[in-house]
Amino acid sequence: MAKDLQAAHAARLPENRNRALTALTDARVGLGRVGASMPTEEVLKFAYAHARARDAVHADFDVETLANALEAIGHRSVSVRSAAPDRMTYLRRPDLGRRLADDDRERLDALQTEGVDIGIVVADGLSATAVHVNAVPFLAALLPLLHSAGLTVGPVTFVQNARVAVGDEIGALLRARLVLVLIGERPGLSSADSLGVYLTHGPLPGRSDAERNCISNIREGGLVPPLAARKAMWLVNESLRRQLSGVALKEEEATLIGAAAEG
């Protein structure tokens, strides 16, 4: 009898370890086995996650709803398009997503006659779903911090079928000292709703990725929007003070941890 109990306990040990691992991460760990295959439940979960990721890439960008939500918290916006005329072209031609359509470039250039401290761009990127879920909560936390610091903010610019670098052109047209690009990150099988924020000081067409700072995995299951806003505010302050961004601007973890504790 005692041997039977010991054998049953030993059989449960892998299951218990798997539960401990899965409680700590959304990653696909401890999936278990049925013979030489995965359990049917895990196969179905994988198929569902893959479908969510595909849907996020092809989801329509609901600019109107986002613009209304921004207006409700007292901030204006403008909508433009990249040079990619449709979603399939955007996916096949990343270069077109990095610049504005010609007519929208002219319209945006005429919109702002005086410079601003901060330009904010909201782009669908590779997951409009991430933007729909996280952009407004992030901005609702960030905008009061920017205003409290006495920084001027241009209209939030929504860009359809856009890549990160489109923010350089928009920031230059708005004559912004610094641009923040909120963009849907490439969906993974554990998260289809992850938002990224890219900060570039002195935005101009031709800036390299090494000249940007990035805050990634902004979502409820990752870095929650209010804390991401505090991290972004620290980077904004330091970028403007030092007049640089990218690899030359390192995050000081103690400062960020302190900001999180205060929040």
Sequence-ordered list of residues with C-beta below 8 angstroms from that of 174, at least 6 positions apart, any chain: 108, 111, 112, 115, 116, 119, 154, 157
28, 163 Cβ separation under 8 angstroms: no
pTM: 0.83
Does the pLDDT at position 23 exceed 60? yes
Q: Please name which of 32, 36, 58 lies closest in space to residue 45, comparing C-alpha atoms.
A: 32
Does the pLDDT at position 35 exceed 90? no
Q: 124-157, pLDDT tens digit by residue?
A: 999 999 999 999 999 999 999 999 999 999 999 9
Asked if residue 42 belongs to a known ligand binding site, the reply is no
Sequence-ordered list of residues with C-beta below 8 angstroms from that of 180, at least 6 positions apart, any chain: 118, 119, 120, 121, 167, 197, 198, 199, 232, 236
Task: Read off the tokens for 228.
Answer: 């991401």
Asked if residue 214 belongs to a known ligand binding site, the reply is yes
Q: Please name which of 91, 82, 229 lies closest in space to residue 158, comparing C-alpha atoms.
A: 82
Asked if residue 164 belongs to a known ligand binding site, the reply is yes
Return the residue matching tokens 């439940």. 41
Q: 165-223, pLDDT tens digit by residue?
A: 999 999 999 999 999 999 999 877 677 889 999 999 999 999 999 999 999 999 998 89
Q: So where are the chain's domains?
A: 58-262
| The dihedral sign for the CA sequence 136, 111, 127, 229 | negative
Q: What is the CATH number of domain 58-262?
A: 3.40.50.11240
Q: How many CB atoms lie within 10 A of CB 109?
A: 15
- Quote the CA–CA distance of 15 and 213 in Å, as a whole number: 41
Strands 77-81 and 116-123 turn out to be: unpaired
Does the pLDDT at position 29 exceed 80? no
